[in-house]
Amino acid sequence: MLWLLTPQLASAYPPHQFWVTNPANHARRWTQVCAVVLLLLAAERARGRWRASAPVRFIEVFATSSLAAYFFHQALIYKRIGGFSFHAVWGDRCSWAQYWTLTALLMALTFVLTWLTDRLYQRAWAGYRALVAQKA
């Protein structure tokens, strides 16, 4: 039965691009990933007032609720809400200035929705912990 679906399966996947899985690139990719991880570990261990700065808090919202951020980001781009979505309205037809403005707007909207969801998660988790402590 699988052989009957071969054309549909083949069209579901993009054509293979050798540079993506080229074994000769493995060491370079591994080195880049390790360098980023080492920088992040060093930043995590570093002390200072910069850890409470706005850019760090901005990134932390996406780090603590990354699945919600991904969901809202995709929904804002593609899901038509009242007939509006970023792709439906602007799609492939905007200038570079519009593109950067729309990217900033999309990031801001994603941030706000993710921040609200993060607060809901925290309240729900606190309620759950209080309920468990009450039963114990």
- According to DSSP, the residues that pair with 15 across neighbouring strands are none
- Spatial separation of the C-alpha atoms in residues 55 and 5, rounded to whole Å: 49
| pLDDT above 70 (res 101) | yes
The residue ranking higher by pLDDT, 23 or 70, is 70
Please give the mean pLDDT across all residues of the chain. 86
CB 106 within 8 A of CB 73: yes
pLDDT at residue 110 tops 70? yes
Q: What confidence score (pLDDT) does residue 75 get?
A: 93
Is-contact 85 78, C-beta < 8 A? yes
Handedness of CA 81, 84, 88, 92 (dihedral sign): negative
CA dihedral 56, 61, 67, 68 (to 10 degrees): -150
Residue 84: in which H helix or E strand, if any? none
Token pair in block for residue 125: 């988790």
pLDDT band (50, 70, 90) for residue 59: confident
Mean pLDDT, range 117-132, rounded to an integer: 93
**Top-confidence residue, 9 or 116:** 116
Tell me the C-alpha distance between 85 and 74, whole Å: 10
Percent of the chain residues past pLDDT 70, beyond the cut? 88
C-alpha 112/C-alpha 114 separation (Å) is: 5
Whether the per-residue pLDDT at 1 is higher than 70: the answer is no
pLDDT digits (tens, 9 = 90+) for 19-56: 767 777 788 889 999 999 999 888 878 888 887 888 88
